[in-house]
């Protein structure tokens, strides 16, 4: 699959498909080791991952985000961590997002780098955003925004749908205004898809 590389900074690589839901994956490198988050296959991806260091694990942040996680883990010879509660030996913390029978999701917090990585909790494509928001909560989380994402001193946020954002305060704004922005989100959705009658 043809992908576009995004969110490139020291020790961070993202790649995104140019489809409507813009699925985005990331590789995070620290101390010569690389963790791959919610990966999708793409041309040159394996080479770019290996250029960051030695693969150490594949992390699936959302239970329904199987994507190509298993094939990456098998090919790279590393463990697959599905909605883990912790990642011993890594520089990451895992923050709870949703823990229901039908939806289990965690977010990855890299405190040293002030990077937050989300699967579906936050997104930057129009489906997630209300009005002029630069980032928005998943529509099903707007009524009860996840507490596990609050109070982090975020500098960069990387998302599972869309390009990342170097605007930490936007995360707190999205969480704080999630409920009252629902009418704007609905209006934007109707505008994006038009009247389907």
Q: What is the CATH number of the domain that holds 12?
A: 3.60.15.10
157: helix, strand or coil: strand
Q: Where are the beta strands (DSSP E) in the chain?
A: 4-9, 12-16, 24-30, 33-37, 54-60, 80-82, 93-99, 104-110, 115-117, 122-123, 136-137, 156-158
Whole-number CA gyration radius for the chain: 16
10 Å CB burial of residue 113 (0-12, 13-18, 19+) is middle
Amino acid 2: pLDDT: 87
Of 161, 64, 153, nearest to 118 by C-alpha is 161
| Average predicted confidence (pLDDT) for the chain | 93
Total domains, the chain: 1
Question: φ, ψ for residue 7 (rounded to 5)?
Answer: 50, 35
Amino acid 191: pLDDT: 54
What is the domain extent for residue 38?
4-193
pLDDT tens, residue by residue, 3-52: 999 999 999 999 999 887 899 999 999 999 999 999 999 999 999 999 99
Residues of the chain with pLDDT under 70: 190-197
Amino acid 190: pLDDT: 63
Amino acid 195: pLDDT: 44
């Amino acid at each position: 699959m043809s992908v576009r590389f995004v969110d490139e900074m020291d020790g961070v690589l993202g790649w995104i498909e140019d489809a409507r839901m813009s699925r985005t994956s990331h590789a995070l490198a620290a101390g010569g080791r690389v963790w791959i988050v919610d990966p999708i296959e793409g041309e040159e991806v394996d080479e770019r991952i290996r250029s960051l260091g030695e693969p150490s694990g594949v992390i699936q942040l959302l239970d329904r985000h199987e994507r190509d996680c298993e094939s990456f883990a098998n090919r790279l010879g590393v463990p697959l961590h599905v909605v883990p509660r912790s990642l011993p030996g890594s520089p990451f913390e895992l923050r709870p997002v949703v823990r229901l029978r039908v939806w289990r999701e965690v977010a990855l917090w890299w405190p040293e780098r002030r990077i937050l990585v989300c699967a579906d909790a936050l997104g930057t494509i129009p489906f997630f955003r209300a009005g002029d928001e630069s980032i928005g909560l998943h529509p099903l989380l707007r009524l009860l925004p996840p507490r596990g994402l609050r109070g982090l001193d975020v500098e960069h946020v990387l998302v599972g749908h869309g390009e990342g954002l170097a605007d930490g305060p936007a995360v707190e704004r999205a969480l704080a205004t999630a409920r009252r922005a629902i009418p704007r989100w609905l209006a934007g959705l109707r505008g994006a898809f038009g009247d389907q009658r």
